[in-house]
Amino acid sequence: MKDPRLDDFLKKLSVPEPDPAARSRALSRARAAFENREAIALVEEERAWGWLGPVGFALALLIAVFFLPFSLSTEPSPSFADRVMLDEMTALFHQRLTAVVERGGEVDVQTSLQDMPSSEQPVRILFRRGREVVRVLSFSGREVCLDLDGKRVCFDVLATKDDNVILMGGDFLWDRDHSVSLAGYRIEAVTLLPAS
């Protein structure tokens, strides 16, 4: 809405001349801002990102509180990463792969000299003693050999239709219903789910 009287009134107004002291202060502030423009930009950037620290800490705390009970569980649970590793090793070594043994961050891939019958039943076996964990990834029907407490231990891996795993060695037999320790290691074994 146009108001002709207001337009006439605004046209008659004039801007007063600035005070010489105010002009000097404004020029001084402008020069200081120009000379310190990089430092001011850095402070503004830090101020803009400053909220990320507390928010990130709160998110990390929330994730830790939510997932900590699951990570403290001692029950063996089939792992997607284990199945992916086993699938990748099988792609490399095909039917010659016997087992993948991981101990203390080192991985030992065991293979045979000739192709073995294919197996669709992958398993994960854990040998636990104190804080030490030896992880074995293999297939039902394969023989696995590893060193436990300085002794060479060999056993056959058998998976049943009800997802039970049986380990059969020269002087021991293990399954989830008849648990035995081997060279001081507690044994846990599960069948692995498909990776896809």
pLDDT value of position 35: 72
Query: Is 83 within 8 Å of 192 (Cβ atoms)?
Result: yes
Residue 166 CA, chain-centre distance (Å), reads 30
For the cut 70, the answer to whether the pLDDT of residue 160 exceeds it is: yes
Using DSSP bridges, classify how beta strands 151-159 and 165-169 pair: parallel, antiparallel or unpaired: antiparallel
For the cut 60, the answer to whether the pLDDT of residue 67 exceeds it is: no
Instruction: Convert the pLDDT of each residue in 75-117 to its tens digit.
Output: 444 578 888 888 888 888 888 888 999 998 888 888 888 887 7
Query: Is 159 within 8 Å of 191 (Cβ atoms)?
Result: yes
Contacts within 8 Å (CB) and 24+ apart, 147-151: 148/182, 148/183, 148/185, 149/183, 149/184, 149/185, 151/183
Nearest residue to 126 via CA among 103, 150, 108: 103
Instruction: Convert the pLDDT of each residue in 120-135 to its tens digit.
Output: 788 999 999 888 999 9
Beta-carbon count within 10 A of 85 CB:
18
Location of structure tokens 């095909």: 94
Could you give phi then psi for residue 23, rounded to 5 degrees? -60, -40
Query: What is the pTM for the complete model shown?
Result: 0.58
| Strand boundaries in the chain, DSSP class E | 97-103, 106-111, 122-129, 132-139, 143-148, 151-159, 165-169, 173-174, 186-191
